[in-house]
Amino acid sequence: MKLHDGYNDAQDFFSENNAATYDSLVNYATFGQDKAWKNQITKIVDKGRFKPTAILDLAAGTGILSSKLENGSDAVSVHSLDLTIDYLKKAKEKSQRLFLINSTAEVLPFQAEIFDYVVSSYLVKYIDIETVAEESWRVLKHQGIVIFHEFTCPNSSVVKKFWRFYFSLLELSGKLLKEWEPTFQRLDEVICKNHSWPDDTSRCLRKIGFVEIFCQYYTLGTSAIISARKP
């Protein structure tokens, strides 16, 4: 199958050259909000109708979210899927219990109906959302939950000014942090090209058959989390 154009962006942005610095970079670059956003995802999982036994983390990267969801428990298995093998190696350092899968989210190498939750953070801008939503439906058990988290371009004119200034600083910092230069040069463009992702995602989920679709915006409209249930 033909993969989404974002596949190439993801390969350009994340490599063996920047895997070691990703955790500190994402924390500082989001002013600590990455931790807050991922905590919101874990809260959705914790408040679910049942305790999960199997979770699939798409675009798991270095395992920040996966390790939160696994939380040292033998009762839940977390499968961490990512394109970049060096990022998955860093994830394994966080928890030996994680199951690592080097693959794309658009073609999931799993049987049907085996996961209680399918979660992702910073994935949507790199994928065809309808394809991934359909794959999530396929691998989720009945009553399973899918969760998508991603940056959103702010609507407020004041926040937009700060957003543009912030990304101009990131682009300049890429001159010093060479391993992140390709990312900082184009991240703003890639995010805002997908400005309608919350509406597009909600529409796809509804079309496929998901129910209880809920979207919540965070941090002055610069981030959103969508959750939905497979009946």
The tens digit of pLDDT for each residue in 36-95 reads 999 999 999 998 877 899 999 999 999 999 999 998 778 899 999 999 999 999 999 999
One pLDDT digit (tens) per residue for the chain, 231 residues: 556 778 889 999 999 999 999 999 999 999 999 999 999 999 999 988 778 999 999 999 999 999 999 987 788 999 999 999 999 999 999 999 999 999 999 999 999 999 999 999 999 999 999 999 999 999 999 999 999 999 999 999 999 999 999 999 999 999 999 999 999 999 999 999 999 999 999 999 999 999 999 999 999 999 999 999 999
Beta bridge partners of 119: 57, 147
| Share of residues in the chain with pLDDT > 90 (%) | 90
pLDDT, residue 28, reads 92
**How much is the pLDDT for 3?**
61
Q: By the 8 A CB rule, do 205 and 213 touch?
A: yes
